[in-house]
Chains A and B, each alone.
Chain A
Amino acid sequence: MASLPKRIIKETERLASDPVPGIGAEPHEDNLRYFAVTIEGPKESPYEDGIFELELYLPDDYPMEAPKVRFLTRIYHPNIDRLGRICLDVLKNNWSPALQIRTVLLSIQALLASPNPNDPLANDVAEDWIKNEELAISKAREWTTLYAEKK
């Protein structure tokens, strides 16, 4: 395998020396492109008080290609499906090589604070969200307690 690009080394160092509040990202020992991530649910969202685990992988073409990110913790959200895949513009068409692991994780945290049921990934959840938002939010809160409670 080719050596790790300087950019990934520096990003990892900077994540450790200047961490983002509410977000953790640690590279695996045996694969420095693979990160174990935790994101705290944003305040005043149905995900508040939850800690969500994610996995992040930097593909060979990173930073010209977006990192691959997936929720490991189950979550009730119109833009995140059953498999934890995330529908987020900066992970797809709007990825820019000037973005970083840090900014991507902040965008995901922001997505938790403002779900967008009009561009859904989990169709059933989005439908619930549009039909009865209050009910959907209470279900999201329920799932947070069920699957993402702080230990």
Chain B
Amino acid sequence: MGNALTKLDESENAFKGRSASIGSGSTRPTNVSERRRRMHMGISNNARSRTNSTGSQLMYKKKSTRERDSMKESFAKQLVVRYNESVDGGYLAPHGCYTFEKLDYDPSLVRSLITARKLAPFYIPLQDFDESWTREELIKIVDGLPLHAAVNENPEEFEDTPIGNLKVQNIDELVDKSLSKKEQRKQRSKIFKARLHRKRILWQEQENEAFLEQKLEAKKEPNPSKRNLALPSADLNHTIYKKGIECPICFLYYPEPLNYSRCCLQPICTECFVQIKRGDPHFPHEEVDPTKPVTNDDEKDPNLLISEPASCAYCATPNFGVTYQPPENRKTGIGGTPPGSYKAAHDEEKASVSNRSGSEEGPKTPSKSPEDPEVVTSDMIRPDWKAKLDKERLRLARRSANATAIHVSNQLVSPDHPSRRDSTTDSGSIPNARSSRLVTNPMVELENQMVEQAIRLSLVDEEERKNSQVHR
């Protein structure tokens, strides 16, 4: 990671009054500290469960679910577009071309990158753009744009999910107690999701209404200096939208400048940029010989699982990243002048036009390496990608361990089953000397396999522990 980003983290932490001691290198101190505590609790729970009842475990679990819920809520709150949080005519949260569920980047990181002018702000896009529009027409069109796109209020997914009273925090009442523990957990998480979806809509609606109200009031106010200066001035709207550029991915029109891919200098809006991420963890793809049998994914070593950094959408260069050169003709909102007081000076307008004609072939800077401090990569805005990969590896390791356990217990049921003989001859993991002895005694074989399994599992756990330490 570049120096610039670490600096951003620190300022972010300072801004929120977080203690400086946690996560100087990490971007999500709460996550890490929570994981650390959970690990401690896990250990003490194990120790306690030997002597004590399970009551304490339940209490801990409840708390952690609630903590996770509130983390998810504060995450979602950072994705609300707020009219009084603007940068150079754009905003700190996406307009909504993609659904809520698809926003999984680290919002606090992206917000700091935008206010630091290292990433273009999220602008409100124009659906179409016509060069023949007059200044007045354009200003009128832009003035009528909502802060956020319309959201599907009743997605099919949540159709039959009760959401109860949104003001009541405790949702355990809504869970059907006649279900099994596992089903109850599932239902609870679904109810939480449905409620959060509705809450996000409400939070955004409140903001949209406030924006509209302020705009109406500003129209009634004859004295420009008394208007709400957080609202963009007509000049600002005209300056940024008078010449749109189409994002090649969402096909919507955005003010210039946009972000440019670090490798091939192609434009991309921030809303599309935050959608591009690593693919799901997978096994390396091999060209197979059709005459040979294929190895099943279940039989592969989970540690071979890989995830590759996202590639450039345009030229497929690995490790996708963008650069952004902030506009010279405007610095408004956070870290700049109030958007409402922005005036386009005549010579400035001209200057920006000539600037633009020069920048039509994209930025003048040559392509940059992903380590360049000016580059923002896809991995940077999703610092949890490594944890996700480890989690998937662990899941696969557990699954194959379970499969072995089931296999072993099957052998116990019918020791004469032909599959048992197959497994002892085929399996390379069991030394020959031992297996020949084991054929005569299935119980000893079973025990040995279980011991092997236990060793494997504890190795996996050890691996996970090490990894989580590295993350810290």
A144 CB to nearest B CB, Å: 22
Given A10-B251, A96-B311, A97-B272; A127-B98 close (CB under 8 Å): no
Contact with A98, one of B102, B127, B248, B290 (Cβ below 8 angstroms): B248
* A68-121, CB < 8 A from B: 93-94, 96-98, 117-120
Bound: A98/B266 CA distance, A: 10
**A64 touching B250, Cβ below 8 Å:** no
Q: Which residues of B contact A64 (CB under 8 A)?
A: 98, 102, 275-276
**A127 touching B291, Cβ below 8 Å:** yes
**B250 touching A6, Cβ below 8 Å:** yes
Asked if A43 is an interface residue, CB under 8 A from chain B, the answer is no
**A11 touching B290, Cβ below 8 Å:** no
**B250 touching A5, Cβ below 8 Å:** yes
**B314 touching A6, Cβ below 8 Å:** no
Bound: A93/B285 CA distance, A: 10
Given A97-B249, A97-B275; A3-B150 close (CB under 8 Å): yes
Q: Which residues of A contact B336 (CB under 8 A)?
A: none
Contact with A61, one of B102, B152, B251 (Cβ below 8 angstroms): B102
Query: Which of B285, B287, B313 is the most central at the interface, judged by chain A CB atoms within 10 Å of its CB?
Result: B313
* A1-57, CB < 8 A from B: 1-3, 5-7, 10-11
**A119 touching B276, Cβ below 8 Å:** no
Q: Which residues of A contact B312 (CB under 8 A)?
A: 96
**B275 touching A11, Cβ below 8 Å:** no
Bound: A117/B275 CA distance, A: 34
Given A5-B97, A94-B316, A97-B272; A63-B249 close (CB under 8 Å): yes
**A96 touching B314, Cβ below 8 Å:** yes
Bound: A70/B234 CA distance, A: 50
Chain A residues touching B, majority SS: loop
Bound: A117/B289 CA distance, A: 9
Q: What is the number of contacts between chain A and chain B, taking CB atoms within 8 Å? A: 55
Question: A interface, how many residues as a size bin?
Answer: 20 to 34
A132 CB to nearest B CB, Å: 14
Bound: A126/B287 CA distance, A: 13
Contact with B290, one of A1, A63, A123 (Cβ below 8 angstroms): A123
Bound: A2/B251 CA distance, A: 18
Asked if B279 is an interface residue, CB under 8 A from chain A, the answer is yes
- Nearest A residue to B268 via CB reads A98
**B313 touching A119, Cβ below 8 Å:** no
Given A94-B316, A97-B276, A98-B313; A119-B288 close (CB under 8 Å): yes
Asked if A130 is an interface residue, CB under 8 A from chain B, the answer is yes
Asked if B252 is an interface residue, CB under 8 A from chain A, the answer is yes
A19 CB to nearest B CB, Å: 18
Q: Which residues of A contact B250 (CB under 8 A)?
A: 5-7, 63
Q: Which residues of A contact B266 (CB under 8 A)?
A: 98
Bound: A3/B153 CA distance, A: 12
- Nearest B residue to A127 via CB reads B290
**B272 touching A117, Cβ below 8 Å:** no
Q: Which residues of B contact A10 (CB under 8 A)?
A: 251
Q: Which residues of B contact A123 (CB under 8 A)?
A: 290
Cβ proximity bits A110-150 to B, threshold 8 Å, 1 near / 0 not: 00000001111001001100100000000000000000000
Q: Which residues of A contact B249 (CB under 8 A)?
A: 7, 63, 97-98
Bound: A64/B150 CA distance, A: 20
**B251 touching A6, Cβ below 8 Å:** yes
Q: Which residues of A contact B316 (CB under 8 A)?
A: 94, 96
Bound: A127/B289 CA distance, A: 9
Bound: A119/B102 CA distance, A: 32
B117 CB to nearest A CB, Å: 25
* B42-97, CB < 8 A from A: 97
Q: Which residues of A contact B288 (CB under 8 A)?
A: 119-120
Given A64-B98, A94-B316; A120-B290 close (CB under 8 Å): yes
Q: Which residues of A contact B150 (CB under 8 A)?
A: 3
Interface residues of B (CB under 8 A from A): 97-99, 102, 127, 150, 152, 248-252, 266, 272, 275-276, 279, 282, 285, 287-291, 311-314, 316
Interface residues of A (CB under 8 A from B): 1-3, 5-7, 10-11, 61, 63-64, 93-94, 96-98, 117-120, 123, 126-127, 130
Question: 16 A-B Cβ contacts within 8 A?
Answer: A2-B152, A5-B97, A5-B250, A7-B249, A7-B251, A61-B102, A64-B102, A64-B275, A93-B279, A93-B285, A96-B312, A96-B314, A97-B313, A98-B248, A119-B287, A130-B291
Q: Apart from A96-B312, A120-B288, A130-B291, list 5 A-B contacts with CB within 8 A.
A: A2-B99, A5-B250, A64-B98, A93-B282, A96-B313
3 closest residue pairs by CB, A with B: A98-B313, A7-B251, A126-B290
